[in-house]
Chains A and B, each alone.
Chain A
Amino acid sequence: MSSTPVDRHDAGPDPCGQFETERLFLRSMLESSPDYIYFKDTQSRFLRINLALARYFGLNDPSEAEGKTDFDFYPEEKAREQWEDELCIMESGTPVTDKVERQVRAGGKVVWVLTSKAKLCDREGRMVGTFGISRDITLLKEMEDTLWNERNLLRNVIDHVPDFIFAKDREGRYTLSNLALARFFRKNTPDEILGKTLFDLFPKEIAESSRADDQVVLEERKPVFNKVGSLAANYWFSTTKIPLFNTSGKVAGLVAISRDITEEKRAQHALEQANADLMRSQEALMRALEQLRAVQLELIEAEKMKLVGRLAAGVAHEVKNPLAIITMGLGYLKRVRFEDPNVDTVLTEIGSAVERADAVIRELLDFSAPKKLNLEPHDINQLVRHALVLVRGEFGSHHVKVVEELGEELPPVRLDTLKIEQVLVNLFTNAAHAMENGGTLTVRTSTRQVTGVGENIAPADGLRVGARLVTIDVCDTGPGIPAALLGKVFEPFFTTKPTGQGTGLGLTVTKTIIDLHGGSIEIRNRAGGGACVSVVFNAETESTT
């Protein structure tokens, strides 16, 4: 065995035992170090190896390696690579540092080692060989591979999901981004976004809004889930941001995922639109249904009235014949002289009863018969004056004073003069009858324009803002109508007159005629006593039947 620099202690005296001490240190290190340590001569023959390397080579004792080379322990290719490294060190004096080497052990097991090598010199500084130290880093290498694989997997996921995935530091600089986000910003790679902030990439308004969201996550240290916002015109995103904590528990930034929900939003919008359309259709349908119901009721009513008309006509014919016989009989009897002085009274009563029955039949026919109006533009005041003349007799017998307050420049109203005259005569007669002990009848006419302010104008009324209305008020100073009965005055066969004095059809016929003219009629009690009837015509009503 040749002497080596490692165990040479014959170089001179060692009075202080320094060499001995260092030798001990070296031996301890060689025996206990888990790293592989060797010393070689200039021929790359092992001068000394440590216990760990001996075990690696499968030797029982390190001394068994002395004089052997790497070609005795490694496959030739590997041994040659190491020999060339050593040659290079010896020629250049430059060490090999931290070289990662792959080695295949007997049985095929792959081992990774980290090797550093340098030249070995004697006391005079002459190069006498090389030495090296290798550390088994197989475990570390495997961990590194696992880590790389995981990172690669994660990167693949991040880059291939269609959502935007990104992370930012506390200053708002992107520290991670993915391909989807890069494409959104028209960049080639995700790395082109790194280091930029929202303000580098978005218009100021959007950047500020998004930054404010980031601040909430960073300051409150709480995630924000599925916040919907617009990153660009007509583009909608749902974003979840989660704070990123460093090892000391401080918020270092945030990580976020943003999903493009534009299509969902559009679909939702379309759905809402469709819903609204549906609601509108439904409302229109309901209105149509209501109108249909109203028309149906009107038709039923019209059919009923037709039936009543037929019935009334039939009854009228059958009743009028006996009345004709009674009337003729009365005519006969009135010409006969009777001894009984009461016969005249009896005959007069019978006569007035027949007249009343005949009047009821006439009004019943009037009420039930469909009307055809003969509409012509007419001056309301003229009609009022004429009707007042017709009932002059009634006023005289009831001691009624008439006050005319007829408005000037009333617009002409299209109406059937005979029917409206009938209405006015009816209203005046009712008023006169209400003032048994005399009183004042005030007839007032006026005109006004529909302003729409404070007025309840239904389209069905045929009124519009700007339309001219003409009103006739007929007011008496009688006792008025009991409040409970006010709502019934237009009902058929309702009357406040004593039995036998009213048919109960007068106001019903009146209302029917006014309705046919497209007008309105209302009756109310006056504050100062008496009743007041108001009839309103639309001066613009074109025609009605």
Chain B
Amino acid sequence: MNKILIIDDEAGFTRLMKLTLQQVGGYEVFEENDGSKAWETARQVQPDLILLDIVMPGMDGGDVAAKIRGDGALAHIPIVFLSAIVSEKDPIPDGLIGGFPFISKPVSLDALIQCIRQHLPAAQQA
């Protein structure tokens, strides 16, 4: 069972994603809606992959990602940014942000699962 940690201040989104991924099966999903508690939760959960929102009150996705990367116990965990963020200057296409993979909300279930599978460590692939 792959452990997925979703860090997003949109509680409705994390709740639905959890339900959906559980319905798909093969995933144990953990939610965290507070950016400032994300690092702690990650330490507790020790997920196989983190889906991380960018725009969050308190601590944003960038800071969370930096803290996790800076933690020797968590640094190996793949992080995928999943955000509705759009730049004033340009819409951001799916790709990379700051070296992290990025997918834009809204995302279809199929695309999401494909992305998760792509970034899960090979040893964890179901």
Q: A311's closest neighbor in chain B, by CB?
A: B88
B24 at the interface (CB under 8 A from A): yes
A323 CA to B17 CA, complexed, in Å: 13
* Residue of chain A at shortest CB distance from B13: A325
A310 contacts the other chain (Cβ, under 8 Å)? yes
Q: In terms of DSSP, what is the predominant structure of the interface of chain A?
A: helix
Contact partners of A336 in chain B: CB under 8 A: 23
Q: Which positions 332-386 of chain A face chain B at CB distance < 8 Å?
A: 332, 334-336, 354, 358, 361-362, 365-366, 369-370
Q: Is the CB of A334 within 8 A of B89?
A: no
Contact A362 B91, CB 8 Å, known A321-B10, A325-B10: yes
Contacts A316-B84, A331-B108, A334-B109 given; does A324 touch B10 at CB 8 Å: yes
Asked if A317 CB lies within 8 Å of chain B CBs, one says: yes
State A370–B57 Cα separation when bound (angstroms).
28
Say whether B125 faces chain A, with CB atoms less than 8 Å apart.
no
The one of A329, A335, A365, A370 in contact with B16, judged by C-beta atoms closer than 8 angstroms, is A329
Alpha-carbon separation in the docked complex, A7 to B55 (Å)? 161
Q: How far is the CA of A267 from the CA of B90 in the complex (A)?
A: 64
Residue in A318, A324, A362, A370 whose beta carbon sits within 8 Å of that of B89 in the complex: A370
Q: Does A447 contact B (CB under 8 A)?
A: no
Does A450 reach chain B (CB closer than 8 Å)?
A: no
Partner of B20, one of A332, A354, A361, A366: A332
A354 x B84 contact (CB < 8 A): no
Given contacts A313-B88, A324-B13, A325-B12, contact A358 B106 (CB under 8 A): yes
Asked if residues B88 and A310 are in contact (CB atoms below 8 Å), the reply is yes
Point out the residues of chain A lying under 8 angstroms from B112, CB to CB.
Answer: 328, 331
Contacts of A323 in B (CB 8 A): 84, 105-106
Instruction: Tell me the minimal C-beta distance from A287 to chain B in angstroms.
Output: 34
Chain B hits for A331, CB < 8 A? 20, 108-110, 112
Instruction: Please name all residues of chain B whose beta carbon is closer than 8 Å to the beta carbon of A334 when the two chains form the complex.
Output: 109
Query: Within 8 Å of chain B (Cβ to Cβ): is A292?
Result: no
User: Roughly how many angstroms separate A317 CA and B91 CA in the complex, as a whole number?
Assistant: 11
- When distances are taken between beta carbons in the complex, the residues of chain B under 8 Å from A223 are none
**A327 and B106: CB pair below 8 A?**
yes
Considering the chains assembled together, what is the distance between the CA atoms of A317 and B88 in angstroms?
Answer: 11
Judge whether B85 is part of the interface by a CB distance below 8 angstroms: yes
Q: Return B33 CB to nearest CB of chain A, in Å.
A: 13
Cα–Cα, bound, A324→B88 (Å): 20
Q: Chain B residue with minimal CB distance to A329? A: B16
B86 and A313 form a contact (CB under 8 A)? yes
Residues of A within 8 A of B115 (CB): none
The answer to whether A328 touches B91, judged by C-beta atoms less than 8 angstroms apart, is no
A318 to B10, CA, bound (A): 11
Interface flag for B75 (CB, 8 Å): no
Q: Is A335's CB under 8 angstroms from B23's CB? A: yes
Q: Tell me, yes or no, whether A95 is within 8 Å of chain B by CB.
A: no
B118 within 8 A of A: no
CA distance A310 to B13 in the complex (A): 25
Q: Please, which residues of chain B bring their CB within 8 A of the CB of A324? A: 10, 13, 84, 105-107
- Of residues 63 to 96 in B, which have CB atoms within 8 Å of A's CB atoms? 84-91
**Is the C-beta of B97 less than 8 angstroms from some C-beta in chain A?**
no
Contacts A327-B107, A366-B91, A369-B91 given: A321-B84 contact, CB under 8 Å? Answer: yes
Interface flags, A140-155, vs B, CB<8A=1, else 0: 0000000000000000
Q: Mark A303-318, 1 if CB is under 8 A from B, else 0.
A: 0000001100100111
Which residues in window 1-49 of B have CB below 8 A to A? 10, 12-13, 16-17, 19-20, 23-24
Chain B contacts of A318 at CB under 8 A? 84
Residues of A within 8 A of B10 (CB): 321, 324-325
Could you tell me the distance between the alpha carbons of A362 and B105 in the complex, rounded to whole angstroms?
12
> B105 to A365, Cβ gap below 8 A?
no
* Residues on A with beta carbons closer than 8 Å to the beta carbon of B12: 325
Cα distance A316–B20 in the bound complex, in angstroms: 24
For the complex, give the distance between the alpha carbons of A13 and B35 in Å: 180
- Assess the A369–B84 pair: CB atoms within 8 A: no
Verify B13–A321 contact, CB threshold 8 A. Answer: yes
B91: A residues at CB distance < 8 A = 316, 362, 365-366, 369
Contact of B106 with A309 in the complex, beta carbons under 8 Å = no
B104 contact set on A, CB distance < 8 A: 320
Q: Give A465 to B71 CA distance when docked, in angstroms.
A: 66
Asked whether A328 lies within 8 Å of B85 as measured between CB atoms, the reply is no
State the CA gap A321–B13 with chains docked (Å): 8
The residue on A at minimum CB distance from B19 is A332
Of all chain A residues, which has the CB nearest B16?
A328
Per-residue contact bits, chain B 47-64, to A (CB 8 Å; 1 contact, 0 not): 000000001000000000
Residues in chain A within 8 A of chain B (CB atoms): 309-310, 313, 316-321, 323-332, 334-336, 354, 358, 361-362, 365-366, 369-370
A-B contact pairs, 30 of them (CB 8 A): A309-B88, A310-B88, A313-B86, A316-B84, A317-B55, A317-B84, A320-B84, A320-B86, A320-B104, A323-B84, A325-B13, A327-B106, A327-B108, A327-B109, A328-B13, A328-B16, A328-B17, A328-B106, A328-B112, A329-B20, A331-B108, A332-B19, A332-B23, A332-B109, A335-B20, A365-B86, A366-B91, A369-B88, A369-B89, A370-B89
Per CB-CB distance, the 8 closest pairs between chain A and chain B, nearest first, are A331-B109, A320-B84, A324-B105, A327-B106, A324-B106, A323-B106, A332-B20, A328-B16
Other 13 A-B pairs with CB < 8 A, given A317-B55, A321-B10: A309-B89, A317-B86, A321-B105, A323-B84, A323-B105, A325-B12, A327-B108, A330-B109, A331-B20, A332-B16, A332-B23, A332-B109, A362-B91
